[in-house]
Structure 1
Amino acid sequence: MINEQKWQQHLRKKPYLVDAIAGNSAMLVSLGQSGRLYRLWWPHIDYPQHADEIRTGLKLGSAPGGVTWFDDPDAGWKHDADYVARTNAYRVSSSHQEFPVTVEQTDFAVPGQPLMVRGYRLTNNGHEAKDLEFYHYGSFHIMDNELFMTTEFQSEHDALLHFRHQYAFAVGSSEVCSGFQAGHGSWHGASNGYLNGNQIDMKPDGAMKWTFSAIAPGQSVEIPVYIAAGHSRGEALAALSLAKSRSYSEWYAEMESYWKTYLTSAAPCPGGNEAIVALYERSLLAIKLMADEATGTIVAAPEFDEYYSRCGGYAYSWGRDAAFVTTAFNKAGLGSLSEKFYDWSITAQEADGSWQQRHFHDGRLAPHWGLQIDEGSSLIWGMWEYYLHSGEQEAFLERMWPAVEKGAKFLIQYIDPETGLPLPSKDLWEEREAEHTYSAAAVHGGLTAAASFAKRKGKDELAVQWNQAARRIADSIEERCWNEEKSSYYRGLKLTVSKETYDHAVSQGATGFVEQRDKGYERFVLDFDPVVDISLLGISVPFNVVPVDSLRMVRTADKIEQLLTSPNVGGIKRYENDPYIGGNPWILTTLWLSHFRTLQGRYEDARQLLDYAVKHVTSSGLLPEQVDQHTGETAWVVPLTWSHAMFVLAVHMLAERGQL
């Protein structure tokens, strides 16, 4: 375990909450409202991460004191930050009450290039000419490793080069620097406004400065700082040379054109509500950054908890999340991203036909808690949804069929003969083992989709077999999973609990059993899990096991709204007494209920739930995972890809019914 002192130091450099992301789907960075760059991933958006600490600041001529860093909370800088409209460029305007200088910083990655651009405009707002020194300090923990780095100043390229193993990063500008320091003491030297010119060191950090003399009142100077990546020192330096060969304005125009073309290629946001349109476009822009350029992998969020201090990490690809995201891509006219993802997904399938919980961009299994049966079934369901969206492309069917067939056969053999539901696995929140009702609904969806694929392939016998299996699951849900006492479906059957929980529950009248496991261990099982959970909506939306207007589903949805609405700030929690990060309402759960209300025809209620998401965007217009239940402020993950996907889907569901 990381010690407390080291952990606090880590959080100072890399807090849980970030304000923005920027990138090009191959390079990804997370940023703060002060413009501080917290993390940098390349050449994939999930792994590896390379930034330790990257900071910029100013020294004002002969003024006493050293460098004032823009992101220092005690330095007196005030920041106004937001995305540049219709792009993934993040712009921060900084001012200081005591200094007559304003700083405009714009961060973006160049599409198709291993290049992060950080453009700075320094303006003298005073009444006298000013001398300025601009400082850039960079510490790279390449591959998230603090060991074995080298930093050197490359005179020929006027750049600092950081490298380790197969990765290198060259930092420089089209403006010639006036000082540098590689390695030991760089932070101390930069903070004090004195760089000693050390050329090379086996350390991760270094600093550079640029001097601007006699900036007249009202005058601005511009300096682009480029972070160029490569798989070797030569590649990184070549990328930096290319960056310097064109002006900052050219790179900016190329980036701006790319994102506007991307949005133009998507289906426009239905309706004319300005706030909804803004969030819809920001959702499409954010989701694109979460889809890896090389592989098509869709990750849940940019990583923010590398040490799993409060969760199990988010920069992985979950089949379930991705199935919702690709359905949003389909609705938004971005089906090519869905197709690319599903081509990737078959590389992550296990030999037995299963898909495990979550994966890296290369299809390798990521750290996980065990099988979630809803993951693979969601993928098969999502494949079918894309196939229909694509106009039933034969080539896609042929590529997917072997994986679909193996996947469906795995699902068929994973049915509990006693209950008719899928055998115990982890639930979609990855917190408990049981035969979950949501998981059963997902398997129903996967098998129904597989049967539809089989019919297209002329495999009528398989189609009948898989449809019958899906029907048996639906029957079992209706026969075994209704909890009349709570007017809701059970969350699951055969819930694994601790011995203490089991003994207490049985003493209170609950029923269950003890099962022998390997090596003499015991599994303590309660027959029913009665907790009301938002995922129960999945029985109808999206997996259509029972219609939304069935009495049981109506009662379940109403019970969800009654029990899970957060009393202080509104929004819908995941489930009763949710302990995760204090039990806040989530954006995606609130939108899930919006989906259900839309399909019910309760459009006003659905719209109110949609508006909740609009009202709880971050300051930069992104959707978080959660909203603080006491303050209504952003809580936990920013941005969550699933949140943005559910918003896009909610918009289209209302619009298709003329209700937006």
Structure 2
Amino acid sequence: MEKYFNDAIIGNQKMTVSYTKKGELLRVLYPTTDYRQFIDYFHVGIKINDSGIIYLHDDINNLYNQYYEKGTNILNTEIVNTYFKLKIIQTDFVCIKENVLVKKYKFINENNIDLNLNFLVHSKLISSDNNQVSGYCKNDYLLQYMHDYTLCTFSKNKISSSQINNTSAKISEGNIWDKDYVGMSSDSSIQYDLEILKPNEEKEIEIFIYIDENKTGLDGIDKEIERIKKIDFRDEIDNTRKYWKKYLKDHQKLELKIPDSPSKNKIMDIYERTILLYPLLVNYETGGISAAVEADEKLTQCGRYTYCWPRDAVFITKAMDILNMKKEVEKFYKVFCKHTQSRNGMWEQRFYTDGKLAPCWGYQIDETASVVYGVYDHFKVTQDKKFLKDNLKMCEKAINFLQKYVKDVIEEEHKMQLSYDLWEMYEGTHLYSMSSIFAAYEAMINIYEELKEEFVKNRVKQEKVHNETEQLRKDMVKIKEFILKNFYDDKQKSFVRNLDDKKIDISLLGAVTPFNVLKPKEKKMLNTVERINLTLRTYTGGYQRFENDHYMGGNPWVIATLWMANYYIETEEYKKAKECFNFVLKSSGQHGFLAEQINNEKMQPAWIIGLGWSHAMFIIVLQKLIEKGKM
């Protein structure tokens, strides 16, 4: 079974965990938000009296209700088995100071007969020739180990039985047993006897998942598990609750004065969930920001998502600045971007959040431009000139690369590798990319202006900066002239996305917002927006990325729809902006997560839940609506 939808996400600074809406554990990522993902499946079930196994996440008699504890990353899933009238409250959280996932299960007998309960865990880890998983069960814990990590599953309760090998052959009966304590199996199981649960009686069991980095051997793991077992996890859940509530309070910086309504509840859900999601996407050692929690490790539908794209991260850092996450933003630019910049000044397509190059298929020139734009955009919030000074050389290298690219395009030299567009699908010359370079040049001019006092005593540098500034101004004129001459199609009476296929694309709006190449009410731009509405707007009010977009069925995108809202705010068409905004509210997930795409028929997330860029666009639009007094 494919597991594409991360309906709920929890974690701390080193461990990220995702679930289905029925409480099934999908993924555990450690020690960073993007690497490594351990879980193939982690199934929990119960045997009641003489029944076979009843999986908590998948039984015809189960009813579900899932919710976060308000203002936290503590997840509750209520499960009621209507046949046995057994209620289970599953509570999942990751400790703040301990890298331990806690899975607490409370069983409530709402029947009028005794229920004999056995609790089973069947865990399979991702295994490969170069990363083979084996199982080991001793001393009341299950170790699933590979060369450099061991995933440990245990409880303060005693294990009543276990099965290292061939679990799938027997577990459906609700009984497991194996003579072996160790074996070369990637899936193994353990069982706990919870004994008789009388009518109206309650019982609890806590399951802990801890990942060891195999630096101290079995004895070290044994000691660490014994230490963890002594922790009072009532204190840990309280500490976790307090931490997230304080974190939320510290980052709620928008003045939301909205009348009570269903819309207000949705806005608050998305707003608060964005604040609680972003720290789970950040690598706190490098500043790298993952685009989303992974949803397709096997590459069945896409090229994967749990990487750091510089462009996506720049949009996210803009939202982070609004949310008072300035330290995270600064580290992204000062540490991650510096570390990942190539010697020639460019950035490649995407990276692991630790800064290592991720699988790629071609560079996107707008990513290099976006970093320079983002550096100055962050400065506008902080007014920290030291930040500009620290990133000056990085930006200058990037500008140098961009200048070579622009010369190659405008003078038709064809010496440089073609760039992909921001959707990573088409190689060529793109209006959005050229607009991003225009904005990068403007940002560089502004950076030089802010730092001019730094060059007063260095006449050589002063003259160099003066000459460079003048050249950038001239190049900005050339870029705008190139855009007006080459990207406007008189037949369609519209700008088009590139020099070849002449398609309408939502990214055409980038020339207005955020890059300010064109004025929002220029005649040619108004014509373009009319074409966008004719070709990209769907019957539900959401917008597709571009004409004939067939990726995942050609759904409307949250990013595209909020981009349209952003444009309408620029033209002061607030009714239209709110219509786009409300489409996103109506189609958000149950916990306030925003997806990449929306299923038009169901008005539900259709792909990648909790996309950082979608959440960023929401925060950016929300702030603008508040500033304009339109909320």
TM-score, length basis structure 1: 0.88
1:462 aligns with one of 450, 455, 468: 468
Are 1:446 and 2:440 matched, yes or no? yes
RMSD value, Cα? 2.0
Q: How far is the alpha carbon of 1:51 from its aligned partner? A: 0.7
Counterparts of 2:32 and 2:46, CA distance in 1: 32
| Residue aligning to 2:55 | 69
2:95 is matched with 110
**Counterpart check, 1:287 vs 2:278:** yes
Which position in structure 2 is the counterpart of 1:583?
554
Cα offset, 1:237, TM superposition: 4.5
Partner of 1:178: 160
Q: Distance in 2 between matches of 1:648 and 1:214?
A: 51
Q: Which residue of 1 aligns with 2:459?
A: none
Deviation at 1:222, TM superposition (A): 1.4
Residue 408 (str. 1) matches residue 402 (str. 2): no
Match of 2:477 among 463, 467, 471: 471
Instruction: Tell me the residue number matched to 1:382.
Output: 374
Change (3 A) 1:659 1:238: farther
Counterpart CA distance in 2 for 1:418 and 1:613 is 37
In 2, are the aligned partners of 1:438 and 1:538 still within 8 Å (CA)?
yes
From 422, 427, 446, the equivalent of 2:421 is 427
Q: CA deviation at 1:418?
A: 6.1
* Contact map agreement 1:114 1:239 (CA 8 A) in 2: no
Which residue identity is paired with 1:224?
Answer: E
- Unaligned residue ranges in structure 2 (runs of 5+): 259-263, 453-464
Aligned match of 2:65: 80
- What are the Cα deviations for residues 382-419 of structure 1, in whole angstroms up to 9, with x where unaligned? 1111122122241x223212211111101011114563
Equivalents in 2 of 1:145, 1:295: separation in Å?
30
Determine if the alignment matches structure 1 residue 634 to structure 2 residue 590: no
% identical equivalent positions: 29
Shift of 1:597: 0.7
Deviates more, 1:577-586 or 1:201-210: 201-210
The aligned counterpart of 2:538 is: 566
Rounded to whole Å, the distance in 2 between the matches of 1:420 and 1:284 is 46
Whether the 8 Å contact between 1:320 and 1:374 is mirrored in structure 2 is yes
- CA distance in 2: counterparts of 1:415 and 1:328, whole angstroms: 29
Large movers: runs of 4+ above 6 Å: 420-423
What SS is found at the alignment partner of 1:492? coil
Instruction: Give the counterpart of 2:510 among 529, 538, 544.
Output: 538
Structure 2 partner of 1:214: 196
- Conserved? CA contact 2:283–2:354, under 8 Å: no
Deviations 1:170-204 (A, max 9, x none): 111122222222x2122334332223253111222
1:36 matched to 2:24? The reply is yes
1:166 & 1:231 partners in 2: Cα distance? 6
Q: What's the counterpart of residue 231 of structure 1?
A: 213
Q: Any conservation in 1 of the 2:595–2:609 contact (CA below 8 Å)?
A: yes
In the alignment, is the contact (CA less than 8 A) between 1:26 and 1:294 conserved in 2?
Answer: no
Instruction: Return closer, same or farther for 1:239/1:344 CA change in 2, 3 Å cut-off.
Output: farther
2:175 is aligned with 1:169: no
Distance 1:636 1:238, change over 3 A: farther
Alignment deviations for residues 211-261 of structure 1 (CA, whole Å, 9 cap, x no partner): 222323222111111100121155655553343222232221121111111
**Residue type of the alignment partner of 2:117:** L
Gap change, CA 1:216 and 1:418, over 3 Å in 2:
closer
Q: Is the 8 A contact 1:151 1:162 kept in 2?
A: yes
CA distance in structure 2 between the aligned counterparts of 1:443 and 1:229, rounded to whole angstroms: 44
Equivalences for residues 120-269 of structure 1 within 5 A: 120-141=105-126, 148-155=132-139, 158-181=140-163, 183-197=164-178, 198-232=180-214, 233=217, 236-269=221-254
Cα distance, 1:456 vs. partner? Answer: 3.1
**What CA distance in whole angstroms lies between the structure 1 residues aligned with 2:29 and 2:86?**
32
Work out whether residues 385 and 450 of structure 2, in 8 Å CA contact, stay in contact via their aligned partners in 1.
Answer: no
Aligned length: 605
Instruction: Measure how far apart 1:575 and its partner are.
Output: 0.8
Rounded to whole Å, the distance in 1 between the matches of 2:490 and 2:13 is 48
User: 2:457 maps to what in 1?
Assistant: none
C-alpha distance in structure 2 between counterparts of 1:313 and 1:636, whole Å:
12
Q: CA deviation at 1:543?
A: 0.8
What is the rounded CA distance, in whole Å, between the counterparts of 2:451 and 2:22 in structure 1? Answer: 56
Of 239, 257, 261 in structure 2, the residue corresponding to residue 271 of structure 1 is 257
* 2:363 equivalent in structure 1: 371
Contact 1:594 1:609 in 2 (8 A): yes
Q: Partner of 1:359: helix, strand, or coil?
A: coil
Q: Mean alpha-carbon deviation: is it higher for 292-301 or for 189-198?
A: 189-198
Displacement of 1:76: 2.4
Which letter maps to 1:440? M
> Could you tell me how far apart the structure 2 residues matched to 1:196 and 1:463 are?
75
Once the two structures are overlaid, the 10-residue window that deviates more, 290-299 or 349-358, is 290-299
* 3-state SS, counterpart of residue 366 of structure 1: coil
* Residue 90 of structure 1: how far off its partner (Å): 2.1
Moved more, 166-175 or 81-90: 81-90
Distance 2:409 2:290 in 1: 36
d(CA) in 2 for partners of 1:452, 1:389: 14
Q: Say whether the 8 Å CA contact 1:129–1:214 is kept in structure 2.
A: yes
Gaps of 5+ in 1: 1-11, 496-528
